Structure formats: structure tokens, C-alpha cells
Amino acid sequence: MSSPAHTWSPAHTVSSPTVSSPTEPSRAEPSLTEPSPTAPPSAESRAPDVLVVGGGVIGLVTAWRSAQSGLTTALVDPEPGGGAAQVAAGMLAAVTELHHGEQTLLALNLASARRYPDFAAELTDLTGHDLGHRRCGTLAVALDADDRSDLRELHALQQRSGLESEWLSGRECRRLEPMLAPGVRGGLRVDGDHQIDPRRLARALVAACERTGVVFHRSWAERLTVGRGERATGVVTADGTVLEAGRVVLAGGSLSGRLAGVPDAVLPPVRPVKGQVLRLTMPRTHAPLLNRTVRAVVRGNHVYLVPRENGELVVGATSEELGWDTTVTAGGVYELLRDAHELVPGITELPLTETRAGLRPGSPDNAPLLGPTELEGLLLATGHHRNGILLTPVTGDVMAQALTTGELPDEALPFTPRRFGAAPARPEPTEQPA
């Protein structure tokens, strides 16, 4: 899940054995206009080359790569590093996340996955932060005949797309992961799908931005400013501060379409998609409950279990089209635990340490919007939906090239924001090897 810190309403946390008192959830639509008590008015003496609106991992990586490219860069967000990264599971699952009709997106996902080892090493070398990057692989399993048939179809699609995955029997799946339920009927072993800890990633990106000279304005962006000649010139914050810049990158996650002042013709078609996620703790006194990410479809519901080296187990995630609602519901928690229990029965013995809900930034084709818009000086980096963490490395590279040259690299051309304009619709992608 990827979006800025202000995309999320207060988190809902459950502590075992008692329940804490979280902030009462709100169903009101969020806004980019909420005041920030930590943003004092100030006058900028020199406008930066680039102003990034949104401090989630997508905004942060854009700002970091922009500054590395020699551009003076600022970022506006009340809480850089918060938001989607605090909820996301961090699966780097280019292969097991493949869906029919998304072969064009697959190519971008694979390009980003290939970057991850060097990207993580670079961030760690620069900041000293351990990102929790685990090259542990993923096992996708089926629990009944229908699930098995669906998984067989996915395997065939992966093979037609030139991807590496191995079909396993139920017994072979349990040999890899002994805690799986006896009823597992088969599975796909994908050694190339890994994981990262999004919370650690976000902290490292904040540190990387600080070390490369990115200026943080910890405030809410209220309105885009458009100057003479129909050009984006900056934003006005909630406290009235005018932040000018040579170019503006809108990286506001699910809120990207709600920034005032953006002309309707270039307003990103991004919608919020709610996801509820659980965190449990695995005891350190025994062998790991799981050694790799395990995922399945249970009665039509997607469920995944992501084990961290520190003993945390992330279980997710619901996918709900409920507008701006970020309420953690008893039904959502029940469904996740029920489906996870069918997959790994031992999970019900673990302490439940946290429940959260957040909003993915969905787009009409579930793919990101990257690069220049028809409004001079305004670029987009949003709409990453369920692939925000996976696409972080490639998004940084794509946006750096767009900011320094004005052009998108070839791998990002299908994801220009202009594809949703008045141009004729693009033909449906065919299934081709990535």
C-alpha cells in the first residue's frame, strides 16, 4: 500500500490482553486542508527546482532521487514517512501479484523488483538503516478444488508471460512450510518474490532525503497555484504559506485527486481502496511459524501472511470500495483471522498486537500515473494501488528522469497520466513474455 502521511485517519491499535483506547474513527471525507500545528508561517527566499506534495514512500523516493540528480528539492507533508507505509505488508510480489489483463504493469513491476537488491543496499549504506529486505520467496497455495483450479490458471498465465514459478503438490508445500493446514491441495513456489519492511523503508527514505538536502515543510498542502501561461508554480499550505517551485510533483496517494486548484483536465483519477491489516507476534522460543510469505485465495478472499525476521507476522488484507472510511471492523478482523486459520491453524495461538486500516490509491486500470501532465510544471507520481512498495525503486528513477529531461523512460511510457485524457483508448495488452 503507498500514499502520503495525510491519507490516513488515526490508526486503530489493539494490544493484548487488553484493548487500548484509539482515537475515535471518522467517516468524514479527508482533506488536504487540515491545519498542522507544526508548520509555522515562513517566506521562502529562493524557490526550489522541485516541490513534492506528499510524504509517503512514493513522494520520498521522488524527492530523494530528484535531489541526487542535482535539483534543489522540497517536500510538503505534515508527517513524512507516515501513511501507507505504516499499514502495508511489504510484499515484493511481481510474479504472484500477476492478474489477467495486467501484463503491461507486470513489466514495470519486474523492472522494479530487479532494482530492489541494489536499491536497498544503497539506502542502507547511506543511512545505516536496516530495511528488513528478505529474499525468502513466496508460496501461493490452494485449499480446495476450486482454489486449485484457479491457481493452475495463474501458473499457466505466469508461464505464458515467461515467469519462473514451480507447481508443488500439497505434500511438497507442507514439506516447505510444515505449519500449513493438512488440507492444502497444491501450490506455486516463487523464489523471486521477496519482502521488505515498509516502516523501515519509510524511515530510511526520510533519512536519505535529509542527507541529500531535501527541505521538509511539515504542513498540509491546501491548493495548487497556477501562474500566467497556465503553469503550476507551487502550493499554498493550510497556514497560508506560499511555497513556490519550478515544478510540482503531486504524490498524494489516494488524496491526489483532492488538491484544490488542480484543473479538472489534469486531475488524477485516483480513488481510495480500503484495506484492513493485522499484526501478530510469533514466539522466539520455537521454530518460525513460517519461513516465507504464504498467500492463498480462501472462498474468493485473498489472504497473505508475511513473517518478519523480528517475529512479527503481518496478515492481510481486505479490499473494500467504501470511500474514505478507515474504520477497523470486527467483520474485517474476523474474516482475516478465519481465512488465515484455515491456511495456518496455529495462528490462533499468537498474540494479536495491532489492527489497522488504510487507503490504497487505486486508478482506473490499477496502474500508476507517472510523469508530466498537460499542465506545464505539474507531474504526477500516484495511483500505485497494491504495488506502491514494490514500485518504489523504479518510480524514483522514472521521476528523476522526467524531472531532469522532461521525458519518461521507455519502460514508463504506458503509465503517462495522459493516457486518461482525450486521446484514443489504448488497445488491450496481449499476453507476452515480460
pLDDT tens digit sequence for 40-90? 444 346 899 999 999 999 999 999 999 999 999 999 999 999 888 899 999
Residue type, 395: T
How far is residue 427 from each of residues 284, 311, 371, measured CA to CA in Å?
Answer: 52, 46, 21
pLDDT at 142: 95
Residue type, 40: P
Mean pLDDT score across all residues of the chain = 88
DSSP 38: T
pLDDT at 211: 98
- How far apart CA 152 and CA 134 sit, in angstroms, is 27
User: What CATH architecture does domain 136-192+272-362 belong to?
Assistant: 2-Layer Sandwich (3.30)
For residue 385, is it left (φ>0), alpha (ψ between -120 and 50) or beta? left
- How far apart CA 373 and CA 265 sit, in angstroms, is 9
pLDDT at 26: 36
| Closest residue by Cα to residue 382 from 276, 223, 257 | 257
CA dihedral sign of residues 296, 365, 370, 247: negative
pLDDT at 297: 86
How far is residue 238 from each of residues 33, 178, 247, 382, 394, measured CA to CA in Å?
Answer: 6, 54, 20, 22, 32
Question: Nearest 5°: CA angle at 384, between 383 and 386?
Answer: 125
Whether the per-residue pLDDT at 38 is higher than 50: the answer is no
Q: Which residues pair with 226 in a beta bridge?
A: 232
Instruction: Convert the pLDDT of each residue in 282-339 to its tens digit.
Output: 988 777 899 999 999 888 788 999 999 999 999 998 899 998 999 999 999 999 999 9
- How far apart CA 369 and CA 231 sit, in angstroms, is 19
DSSP per residue, 387-408:
GTTTTHHHHHHHHHHHHHHSS-
- How far apart CA 206 and CA 67 sit, in angstroms, is 13
Q: With 0-12 CB in 10 A as exposed, 13-18 as middle and 19+ as buried, what is 19? A: exposed
Whether the per-residue pLDDT at 244 is higher than 70: the answer is yes
Instruction: Convert the pLDDT of each residue in 337-393 to its tens digit.
Output: 999 999 999 999 999 999 999 999 999 999 999 999 999 999 999 999 999 999 999
DSSP 323: T
Those residues with Cβ within 8 angstroms of residue 300's Cβ, 6 or more apart along the chain or in another chain: none
Q: Which residues pair with 276 in a beta bridge?
A: 357
Question: Nearest 5°: CA angle at 153, between 149 and 155?
Answer: 115
Q: What is the CA radius of gyration of the chain?
A: 21
pLDDT at 31: 41
pTM over the 0.85 mark: yes
Residue 5 pLDDT class (50, 70, 90 cuts):
very low
Q: Which residues pair with 244 in a beta bridge?
A: 234
pLDDT at 93: 96
Whether the per-residue pLDDT at 429 is higher than 90: the answer is no
CB 301 within 8 A of CB 291: no
Beta-sheet pairing, 242-244 with 247-250: unpaired
- How far apart CA 434 and CA 429 sit, in angstroms, is 12
List the domain boundaries for the chain. Answer: 136-192+272-362
| Closest residue by Cα to residue 76 from 231, 238, 187, 226 | 238
Coil vs helix vs strand at 162: coil
Instruction: Convert the pLDDT of each residue in 161-218 to its tens digit.
Output: 999 999 999 999 999 999 999 999 999 999 999 999 999 999 999 999 999 999 999 9
